Chains A and B, each alone.
Chain A
Amino acid sequence: MQTPLENELDELKQQLLTMGSYAETAVKQAVEALITRNDALALKVKENDDVLDRFEIEIDDLAINLLAKAPLASDLRAVTVAMKISQNLERVGDEAAKIAKRARDLNGEAPLKTSLDLPAMAKAALEMLKAALDAFVRRDPASARAVVERDKEVDALNKQARRELERLMLESPDNVLRALHLMIAAKSLERIGDHATNVAEEVVYLCEAQDIRHGGK
């Protein structure tokens, strides 16, 4: 027999997981729209961002109501972590929408010839997000820590992308506009990696009450 408090905590967790899967989908679709030059998909991503916004509001509301009941110990950590994760997931959604916008902008131009490996970056960022959310479900601080480690990889890939795009821009003024769009898209992917890292750090705090943000262990 669960207490009403436990039921509400479960509800909170469910909402977070649902929001997480929406966020994952948004990123997947945005990247696909970019790579396959799919306008319709890009538009869909932009519209679905609403859903994520509403989820954040809903989850924050649930959390505040739970806080009024003065939960303690792991319950308290669960509620504050939920609020942080929902914020990060909402930003992921925003970044996905930005990628989708850049996709639509690029679709209006001819494709740029480049060796840029955006798909690799996207894959890494998506995997990080998925792993962070999995770690949350399974309450697994070890895999969460692994996600934090992987952020370096995405940062490196972003640096690489920038250098390639800078080279393209210097090569010819015709490339500048398209390169800029791509640069922004890459930046968004890097940010998605950062948000996934944040989620993972929150998961570690939830499980171990250790705050590993900003260099802590």
Chain B
Amino acid sequence: MNALTPSQYLPETPREFRHFRAEKFDFASFFFGGLTGLATLLILAILAVILGNILWNGWDGLSWHFISTIPKKDFFDPDTTGVLAMIVGTTFRVLVMTIFVIPVGVITAIYLTEYAPNAALATRIIRAAVNNLAGVPSIVFGLFGLGFFINFIGKNMDALLRNPGPVWGQPALIWASLTLAVMTLPVVIVATEESLKAIPAGLREASLALGATKLETVWKIVLPQALPGIMTGGILAVSRAAGEVAPILFTGVAYYMASLPGKLSDQFMDLGYHVFVLSTQSPNIEQTRPILYATVLVLLALTFALNIVAIIIRARVRKKLRALG
């Protein structure tokens, strides 16, 4: 017996159903989709141009020697230049900043989320203060650092410690780091608050119902869950601080240091500031341009590297949280 092919035994599609088969062309969707695609391309293009330009111009200037040499006083000369001091300076100041900003930011966020009564005036004042802090221009932070940390705290520390000459009452790594910490505090606070708020209230209730105090609940249940969010805040703070120059201008960066910074009271050199110096103070811009681009490249690479390390650590923490307690 011959088998029938489907077209032989299936009825023909009735006429009235035919126009449902093909989708009608929707101009609005197409237009909007195209527009968003174009915007994305634009952003990628800009990024590519910037990075490409830097890579193109700076790649030749990069060398192991360049990265590992402390520069001589005349760092405009390719033979005596190097960026080791700046790498170390930038890295140190970012690290010290992180040591201060994360604990203070996290504790503030915990207070605001877990302890502060929402409707109280004090709470609203604190929140307003945090929001406003985020909008202060960086240079103002620099001036604040100078006035408060150096001229007030530093000078008084010197007086208390009976230092013969100014040790703390002058620009130093610690003051620059603290200034940056104050500047990036809102970022950490907000990121931490968001991650705390994302933890369902049910978990806290369960812990409290078992007889835990609020502190035990925060420490054992809430904070561990919020860790990835806190680290995100840290990453954002680091990214912002690594490239900032204005806050460190008066608080710790030096035009030139012969040696690497060894103590918290030392001054330091900085990549971002060095870019500024190279581009404005150079006697021979043609000679200096390759160094300039190479420095920028190193700054970007350093920021990138710091971020990658933090992101990897955060990913590990997330994985551990997901797997087991």
Contact between A and B in the complex (any CB pair below 8 Å): no
User: B interface vs A, CB < 8 Å?
Assistant: none
